[in-house]
Amino acid sequence: MAVKVMIPAPLRQFTGGQSSVDVQATTVGDALAALDQHFPGLRDRLVEPDGRLRRFVSVFVNGKDVRTLQGLETPLQEGDEVGIVPAMAGGR
């Protein structure tokens, strides 16, 4: 499936400034692996060594947080849009 991965501004330093990347993938995990082929090392910023999504990052399929779907196993359809956002947090 051809899907579009949207790269947020804080991660564009790893994509040479590119704001979206078209990849072939059947799951969200596949899409991140495909992204890593274009930009080696990017996946490690998003996924723990044991394969879980890092806590400070959220990944979306068509605006839905994959943690509320099937995580990195979430299936993708042709034309889906995969979004990535680092957490915005702090306090006191």
Binding interface with another protein (CB under 8 A): 8-11, 55-56, 58, 60, 63-65, 83, 85-92
Phi, psi of 81 (to 5 degrees): -115, 125
CB of 61 to another protein, least distance (A): 11
Paired strand residues for 57: 86
CB of 1 to another protein, least distance (A): 21
CB of 86 to another protein, least distance (A): 4
Record the tokens describing residue 19, joined without a space: 């704001």
Record the tokens describing residue 54, joined without a space: 């890092």
In the bound state with another protein, the residue whose beta carbon lies nearer, of 11 and 42, is: 11
DSSP state of 26: S
Q: What is the spatial distance between Cα 36 and Cα 42, in angstroms, rounded to a whole number?
A: 6
Record the tokens describing residue 41, joined without a space: 């090392």
In the bound state with another protein, the residue whose beta carbon lies nearer, of 38 and 54, is: 54
In the bound state with another protein, the residue whose beta carbon lies nearer, of 36 and 65, is: 65
